Amino acid sequence: MPVRFVVDPRQPRSFSMITLAYTFYENPLAAGTATVAAASAG
């Protein structure tokens, strides 16, 4: 499952490091969406 982080390129140059974090949650409304997308793409 791809994850994309977008960092604003206008951040101050004084920022030398950032920390990225994420959590995956089950979404019952999207259940089966990936399966359908993969099947239609194949």
| Cα–Cα distance measured from residue 38 to residue 42, given in angstroms and rounded to the nearest whole number | 6
User: Which pLDDT tens digit goes with each residue over 1-42?
Assistant: 678 888 898 989 898 899 988 888 887 777 666 555 555 555
Share of the chain above pLDDT 70, in %: 69
Phi-psi region of 32 (alpha: psi -120 to 50; beta: other; left: phi over 0): left
| Cα–Cα distance measured from residue 38 to residue 41, given in angstroms and rounded to the nearest whole number | 5
Q: Give the global pTM.
A: 0.36
Q: What is the DSSP string of 1-36?
A: --------TTS-TT-------------GGGTTHHHH
